[in-house]
Structure 1
Amino acid sequence: MSHECEKATLQEVSAPITWGTRISYGLGDTACNVVMGITTAVLTLFYTDYAGVSVAVVGLAMLISRVFDGTSDVIMGVIVNKTRSKWGKARPWVLWMAVPYALCTISMFCIPQSNETVQFWYIFITYNLCTTVCYTAINVPYGTLSTLMTRSSHERDMLSVIRMALSPFGKIIAVTFTLPIVKLFGDDQAAWIKVMSIWCVIAVCLLIICFANCKETVHFEAQQQAQPKVTAGRSLKALLSNPYFWATLILWAVTCIHTTIIGTDLPYYCKYVLGNDELYSFIYTAEIVALIVGALACPLLLRRFNKRDLSLLGCVIVVAAQALIMLHPTSFSWILTMTIIRSLGQAPLTSVVFGMMGDVVEYGQWKSHIRQESLIFGAGSLGFKVGTGVTSAIMTMLLEGAGFLSSTTGGAVQPESAKEMIAAIFYWGPILVWVVAIVVLVLYRLDKIYPTIMKELAEREARGDM
Structure 2
Amino acid sequence: MQNITEKLSLKEKIGYSLGDTASNLFFQTFMLFLLYFYTDVFGLPAATVGTLFLITRIWDAFNDPIMGTIADRTNTRWGKFRPYILIFALPFGIMGVLTFTTPDLDATGKLIYAFITYNLLMMMYTAVNVPYSALMGVITSNSMERTELSTYRFVAAFFGGIIVQASTMSLVKYFGKGNEAIGWQWAMGTLAALAFILFFITFITTKERVHPPKEQKNALKTDLKDLFSNKPWLLIAGATIFQLLLIVIRNSSIMYYFKYYVKDQQLNLFGNTINLSFDLFASSFMLSGTIITIIGAILTKWFSKKFDKKNTYAGFLALSAFTSIFFYFLKPENVILIYLLNIIFSFSFGPVSVLQWAMYTDTADYSEWKNKRRATGLIMAASLFALKVGLTLGGAIVGWSLALFGFVANQDQSPETINGIIMLMSFIPAVFGFIGGGLMLFYPLTNKMMVKIEEELVARRQEQTV
Match of 1:257 among 245, 252, 255: 245
Residue 3 of structure 1: aligned partner: none
The gaps in structure 1 that reach 5 residues or longer are 1-8
- Percentage of matched positions with identical amino acids: 29
* Correspondence list, 1:169-208, <5 A: 169-185=159-175, 186-187=177-178, 188-208=180-200
Instruction: Give 1:10 shift.
Output: 4.6
Q: How far apart in 1 are the matches of 2:142 and 2:19? A: 20
Residue 368 of structure 2: aligned partner: 365
- State yes or no: 1:304 paired with 2:311: no
Match of 1:216 among 180, 188, 208: 208
Q: How far apart in 1 are the matches of 2:210 and 2:171? A: 43
* Correspondence list, 1:216-295, <5 A: 216-220=208-212, 223-224=213-214, 226-227=215-216, 229-276=217-264, 277-278=278-279, 279-295=281-297
Residue 355 of structure 2: aligned partner: 352
Query: What does the per-residue CA deviation read over 1:190-246, in whole Å, with 9 as the maximum and x for residues that have no partner?
Result: 1111111111111111111111101112223xx33x24x343222211110101111
Q: How far apart in 2 are the matches of 1:459 and 1:40? A: 43
AA paired with 1:412? Q
Residue 4 of structure 1: aligned partner: none
Instruction: Give 1:95 shift.
Output: 0.7
Residue 83 of structure 1: aligned partner: 74
Residue 21 of structure 1: aligned partner: 12
Query: What does the per-residue CA deviation read over 1:152-195, in whole Å, with 9 as the maximum and x for residues that have no partner?
Result: 11111111111111101212222332113312332420111111
Partner secondary structure for residue 50 of structure 1: helix
Residue 38 of structure 1: aligned partner: 29
Instruction: Give 1:316 shift.
Output: 3.2
Instruction: Give 1:14 shift.
Output: 4.7
Instruction: Give 1:106 shift.
Output: 0.1
Residue 140 of structure 1: aligned partner: 130
- State yes or no: 1:109 paired with 2:100: yes
Residue 399 of structure 1: aligned partner: 402
Q: How far apart in 1 are the matches of 2:159 and 2:97? A: 20
Residue 322 of structure 2: aligned partner: 320
Residue 421 of structure 2: aligned partner: 422
Q: Which moved more, 1:324-333 or 1:434-443?
A: 324-333
Q: How far apart in 2 are the matches of 1:368 and 1:441? A: 23
Residue 380 of structure 2: aligned partner: 377
Residue 453 of structure 2: aligned partner: 453
Query: What does the per-residue CA deviation read over 1:75-100, in whole Å, with 9 as the maximum and x for residues that have no partner?
Result: 10001011121110101111111111
Q: How far apart in 2 are the matches of 1:36 and 1:319? A: 22
- State yes or no: 1:167 paired with 2:157: yes
Query: What does the per-residue CA deviation read over 1:83-130, in whole Å, with 9 as the maximum and x for residues that have no partner?
Result: 121110101111111111100000012232433221111111101111
Q: Which moved more, 1:105-114 or 1:327-336?
A: 327-336
Query: What does the per-residue CA deviation read over 1:37-87, in whole Å, with 9 as the maximum and x for residues that have no partner?
Result: 111110111111112221122122111011112321111000101112111
Asked whether the 8 Å contact 1:111–1:122 carries over to 2, the reply is: no
Residue 272 of structure 2: aligned partner: none
Query: What does the per-residue CA deviation read over 1:239-293, in whole Å, with 9 as the maximum and x for residues that have no partner?
Result: 1010111122123333433332122101000011101332110111111111011
Instruction: Give 1:23 shift.
Output: 1.1
Asked whether the 8 Å contact 2:246–2:321 carries over to 1, the reply is: no
AA paired with 2:53? M
TM-score (norm 1): 0.92
Q: How far apart in 2 are the matches of 1:463 and 1:21? A: 28
Q: Which moved more, 1:307-316 or 1:204-213?
A: 307-316
Asked whether the 8 Å contact 1:80–1:89 carries over to 2, the reply is: yes
Partner secondary structure for residue 97 of structure 1: helix
When the two chains are superposed, the root-mean-square deviation of aligned CA atoms in Å is: 1.8
Instruction: Give 1:313 shift.
Output: 2.7
Match of 2:147 among 157, 162, 166: 157
Q: Which moved more, 1:271-280 or 1:31-40?
A: 271-280
Query: What does the per-residue CA deviation read over 1:319-346, in whole Å, with 9 as the maximum and x for residues that have no partner?
Result: 3322233332432221210111011111
AA paired with 2:112? W
Instruction: Give 1:303 shift.
Output: 3.7
Q: Which moved more, 1:170-179 or 1:280-289?
A: 170-179
Q: How far apart in 2 are the matches of 1:321 and 1:329? A: 16
Q: How far apart in 2 are the matches of 1:103 and 1:38? A: 15
Q: How far apart in 1 are the matches of 2:94 and 2:459? A: 48
Partner secondary structure for residue 116 of structure 2: helix
Label 1:368 to 1:209 Cα distance change in 2 as closer, same or farther (>3 A). Answer: same
Instruction: Give 1:36 shift.
Output: 1.3
- State yes or no: 1:72 paired with 2:66: no
Q: How far apart in 2 are the matches of 1:59 and 1:179? A: 23
Residue 267 of structure 2: aligned partner: none
Q: Which moved more, 1:276-285 or 1:265-274?
A: 276-285
TM-score (norm 2): 0.92
Q: Which moved more, 1:444-453 or 1:288-297?
A: 444-453
Label 1:463 to 1:274 Cα distance change in 2 as closer, same or farther (>3 A). Answer: same
Asked whether the 8 Å contact 1:51–1:113 carries over to 2, the reply is: no
Q: How far apart in 1 are the matches of 2:104 and 2:142? A: 52
Partner secondary structure for residue 420 of structure 1: helix
Label 1:14 to 1:86 Cα distance change in 2 as closer, same or farther (>3 A). Answer: farther
The gaps in structure 2 that reach 5 residues or longer are 265-277
Q: How far apart in 2 are the matches of 1:230 and 1:25? A: 27
Q: How far apart in 1 are the matches of 2:255 and 2:37? A: 11
Q: How far apart in 2 are the matches of 1:143 and 1:304? A: 26
